[in-house]
Each structure stands twice: as C-alpha cells, then as structure tokens.
Amino acid sequence: MEKREGFSSKFGILAAAVGSAIGLGNIWRFPYVVGKYGGGAFLIVYLGIVAAIGLPLMLSEFVIGREGKQDAIGSFKKLDSKRPFFVSGVLGVLAAFFILSFYGVVAGWTLEYVFASITNKFAGQSSEQIGNMFGSFIADPYRPIMWQIVFMGITGLIVSTGVQKGIEKVAKIMVPLLLVLIIILDIKALSLPNSMEGLKFLFQPDFSVIDGRVVLGALGHAFFSLSLGMGIMITYGSYISDKENLGSTALQISLADTFIALLAGIAIFPAVFAYGVDPSDGAGLVFITLPNVFNQMPGGYIFSIMFFALLALAALTSTISLLEVVVAYLVDSLKMARKRASILAFTGITLVGFFASLSNGPLAHLDFFGNNFFDFLDETTANYFLTTAALISVIFVGWFMDKGRIKGQLSNEGKFSIGYESIYFAIIKYVAPIGIVLVFLYQLGVFGFME
Ligand code: TRP
C-alpha cells in the first residue's frame, strides 16, 4: 500500500487548508451572491451562519478525518461500518466533481484576464465596453474552454505528483500577497465617487429582502467558501499531525476566509456603484467592475496583471483541493494509482465543464429549472449537495460518533483542556442539524404562512 503523506509543518496544513478555503468563492462568488440576494441583510445572515454552523462543521470534518485517517468515504466507513454515513462522503465526491466542472471554467476566465491585462485590452474602455467584452468572451465557444483546459491541466499535474509537494508552496506565497493587493484595491475603491453607496449596500441590512431562498443561499455559500460539506477538510484532516490543535486551526481558517471575502466586498461594491454596474449582475461582477478600477489607478496596468494572476493562484489552490477529493477517493477506496486517478478525474470533470462553459454561449437556450447549465451547477452543488452532505456529517458527529474519540481529537488525547466543549456539542447535536433542516423547510415554503 502507498504510504499516506502528511504535511511537513504546522504552517503547511494551515497553508493548504487556507489555500483551499480562499479562492474564487471569496473574490468571485461572494460579491456576486451578496449582490444577487440583496446586500447587507444577506451578509449578516452569512456571518451568523459561518460562526454558528460553518466553524463547528469545519472542526467536525477535521475530527472525522484525523480519526479516520482516510479520504471522506473511507473515514466514514472506518468510523462506523454499520450505518451508511459514508453517503455523505459520496455526495461530497460528487459535489467536488460538479463544483470543479464549473469552477474550472471560472478559473480559466482568470487566465484570460491575466492575458487581457498584459496586452492592455481594457485601457481606455468605458464601463459598458468592459461589460460587453466579458459577455462576448464567456459566450465564445472556444476561448473559455481553451483556458479551462489549461487551468485544469495544471491542477491535474500538481495533484498527480502528490499532496504536500504541490499545495504548500503555492499557498504560502499566495495568501499574504493576495491580502496586500486586495487592501490596496480597497483603498482605491473607497476613494471612488459614490463609494458610500457601495458600502451601504454591503453593510446596511434591509431585512425585508430575507426569505428562504436568501437564507439557503447564505448557508450554501458559507459551505462553499469554507470548503465544507465535501470531505475536503476530512481529507486534509487525515493529513494533520496528531500534535496540532484542531480547534484553533479551524478558527484561524474560518477567520482568514471571512476576512478576505469582506475585503473583496469592500473593493467591489464601491466600484459597482461608481461605474453604474447592477449589483445583481451575477457571475460577471468581479470581471466587469475591477478592470474599471484598474483603468483609473496609477500603476493600474501592473496591478491588474498582479490581481488576476493572484486570483488565478487562489483558484489553483482551491481546484487542487477539489480535484484531490476525487483523486483521494479513487486512490484510497478504489486502490487506483495516483497518476491514473488524476488523469481520469481531470478528463471527466473537464468534459462536464465544457457544457458549463458552452451554456454561457451556444447552449444558453438549454433550460435547467430556469437556469442555464452553468448557473444550475453553481446553485445546486452549493445549496443542495454541500448542505445535505454537511447535515449528514453533523448528525454523524453529534449523535453517532464516539464522544470519547471526539474529545480525544479536540484535546489531543487530553494534552490540553477544551474550553468550548459544551457549546461545540450543543451546536453539533442540535443547532447545526436543526438549523439546516429548518432552512430547507423554509426554502420549500413550509413557513410561508408567517409572511
Ligand atoms: N472554498 C473554495 C473557494 O472559496 C472553493 C472550494 C474548494 C470548495 N474546495 C471546496 C467549496 C470544497 C466547497 C467544498 O473558492
């Protein structure tokens, strides 16, 4: 049997898990869902969910992984051979597969934007022209697919070489640099005319917009952004050394992830209002607003290249983790060689991704429950797959996993005391599962009579 690799340092795991969490979810998807679901009220619901459900769930995934020492499905099977909790892992592998199929498309867009920045394509263009450039690029039958293949190919190469060599190095440089660059963008964005409008949209809640759809959107995005409900943190947890404190690791990752998303929102919404973009414009929000900001910035040419290159890197550390879920499953559960597994996963995911990309153009007429295929994949995977897999995981940890083993994991077998123990168990047993079920019911309109 292949020996399981571990991470070489505390910083290594943190870098890889943070690298997984921070990605297009923070910078591309977060602003676009905030816009889609109406702004500040969504943000408050989102933050509440991250703290009350996201963080404890991340910790639970680490516990399952470090105790099971396998990929998601294997860990569930090992910890409970009688009950079918591994279906959570199956859902997770499927979710990773389908998320990566559209995520790889968006990741490809970032490469196009690096290229467009280098060749100075946005210079002198009006806000409307920049919007049109985005629209015609994603509708093109070939170009986005070409970039998607490039991006997925790089991801596949890294994953096929094994865990620690690939991920740690990239993430260590990427996260700090990204942070600095977004803060510079924030400063610029806040100096734009109308920037207060953007901040109001992001931070001033209008609770009348909240309904089941909005809450489900927040729940789905919280899992998406924290990389939960898919077995990724289970897989990473299986690589975490027994000396690390799982609780503080989960806390640090959740804070970093949320912080980056907020900073991205502070850069983007002022620009949305300054350039007359519609906040609910959807998947193009970042790609349409930021080139305008760069156009007006001293040194914008360089910043634009750097920003999209970093966005591509942030996406890469996430695509690595997504592909790793699928590959780890093929390697651990089906005993496939890592290279073969990587090639197989790459091929399947990229092919489905072609259809996601084409659905922004030539196949736009195909209707999937009122969406094109791209938006359908995006919404369904986050709002239904991740949430359901998460629900199964919390029920497992809260009600079926041996409590002594959980405590052993949280305290490194009693090496230190866990101050948050009672609140953690209350959340995992009651708050999180009941919360998720209520959100489902709410979304289905079961509470419609209250409105
Ligand atoms: N969290 C990543 C992001 O924000 C995307 C991602 C990577 C992900 N791995 C995941 C989402 C696992 C859900 C589950 O871009």
Which CA distances in Å does 173 have to 15, 16, 39, 163, 431? 9, 11, 32, 17, 37
Paired tokens of 349: 């995911």
Tell which residue, 81, 209, 156, 189, has the closest CA to residue 326: 156
27, 102, 225: which to mutate for ligand 1, most atoms within 8 A of CB?
225
Task: Say if ligand 1 is within 6 A of residue 148 CB.
Answer: no
Q: Ligand 1 centroid to 314 CA: how many Å?
A: 11
What are 265-277's pLDDT values in tens digits?
A: 999 999 999 998 9
Task: Tell me the C-alpha distance between 46 and 52, whole Å.
Answer: 10
pLDDT digit string (tens) for 116-131? 999 999 999 999 999 9
Asked whether 322 lines ligand 1 (CB < 6 A), one says yes
Per residue in 394-434, pLDDT (tens digit) is 999 999 999 999 999 999 999 999 999 999 999 999 999 99
309 CA to centre of ligand 1 in angstroms:
18
Q: What is the CATH number of domain 10-444?
A: 1.20.1740
Give the Å distance between the CA of 93 and the centre of ligand 1. 13
pTM of the model: 0.92
Atom of ligand 1 nearest to the CA of 257: 4
Cα–Cα dist 306/310, whole Å: 6
Q: Which of 321, 329, 393 to mutate to test the pocket of ligand 1 (most atoms within 8 A of CB)?
A: 321
Q: What is the pLDDT of residues 33-65, one digit of tens each?
A: 999 999 999 999 999 999 999 999 999 999 999
